[in-house]
Amino acid sequence: MSLSGVSAYSRETGWVRRLEGVVVATLTPFDGEDRLDVAGVGPYVDFLCAGGVSALMVGGTTSEFVALAADEREALIRTAVSAAGGRVPVIAHVGHVDLRQALRLGEAAARAGADAITSVVPYYHAHTQGAIVEHLRTQARALPQLPFLAYDYPAAAGNRLEAGSFAELLEEPNVAGVKLSVATLEEVEPFMRFAPQVLVMSGNDSIWRQFVALGGRAVVSGNAAVVPELASRLLRAWMDGEVSEARRLTPLLEEVVTLSRAGAPGPLKELLRTRGLDLGPSRVRSLSAREAADRPGPSEALRRAVDWEWSPAPAGTA
């Protein structure tokens, strides 16, 4: 018997292929002493669900997984699943360069009731395509009851999942999709041949229009962690062919991308704080103290668009 009580997941009949909309890459709350703040997860999940997101991706890049201990990652996933309460699916990121740790995290996600797991390609050390496939395939096989989504982020990982390698992963029936955090549409195009049997998600907020034109129906957005309602409205406008509305909203999301330094956790948290939701400091200090103090605020147009009662936040630790 599997951890979830289901013997095997099939991408041919499972729920993942029907997912569309904004999958928000969540932030991680910390308290004033830099400890994981599980009490802060619930209100934050409520905020995201109220913003109309289609799913939560928990424990990934925006969640600062590289700065979390294994037990913290497990607690974060467990708390997020409980807070979501079935309102939206929770996709748990369990990636780790150490395969043993990735397998442990996957089992913990299954016990917690996560709806799917995702894993970034092995990072830091150079890996061959064969090694990448073996690493991800082992995780998928370990939890056949859960849909598995590969996660490609070459700029951060230093390794890239090629479309041919993803095709090899599809030998596993529970490999249900891929998230592509890549710079250009040309890098996405080779994977679109797998859709709609497989969910192909873009992780680049700057190419939504072109991605939708290729047939894309779901995106993963770290900037939606601050403006879930704006991101959800914009993607829906592109998918529904509401071009005028999409063109009106696109510069507003682009502004958030600029303010957040392309989705860095610290700046995102500082922006969220000005919306009245304090998730504490960021462990990943991607800006100097001076740069954090000099950050600009949102424009009046952006504040109006999402009812942002903005007031400058105190200099933080972005």
Where exactly are the structural domains of the chain?
Answer: 18-226
| CA distances for 58 relative to 25, 27, 91, 314, angstroms | 6, 8, 6, 27
Angle at 122 between CA 117 and CA 127, to 5 degrees: 145
Clarify whether 124 is annotated catalytic. no
pLDDT number for residue 314: 60
- 25 pLDDT band (50/70/90 cuts)? very high
Pairwise CA distance, residues 308 & 151, whole Å: 32
Pairwise CA distance, residues 61 & 4, whole Å: 26
Q: Which residues contact 37 (CB under 8 A, 6 or more apart)?
A: 29, 30, 31, 279, 280
Residue 122 pLDDT > 70: yes
Residue 176 pLDDT > 60: yes
Please answer whether residues 118 and 62 qualify as being in contact, where contact means their C-beta atoms are separated by less than 8 angstroms.
no
Q: Which of 9, 44, 153, 179 is catalytic?
A: 179
Fold of 18-226: TIM Barrel (3.20.20)
Let me know if 113 is exposed, middle or buried by CB neighbors in 10 A (0-12, 13-18, 19+). middle
Query: Whole-prediction pTM value?
Result: 0.95
- 3 pLDDT band (50/70/90 cuts)? very low
Rg (C-alpha) for the chain, rounded Å, is: 18
| Mean pLDDT, residues 178-202 taken together | 97
Pairwise CA distance, residues 103 & 248, whole Å: 44
Clarify whether 269 is annotated catalytic. no
Q: Which of 9, 151, 153, 269 is catalytic?
A: 151
Predicted confidence (pLDDT) per residue in 127-144, tens digit? 999 999 999 999 999 999
Angle formed by the axes of helices 265-273 and 243-259, nearest 10°: 110
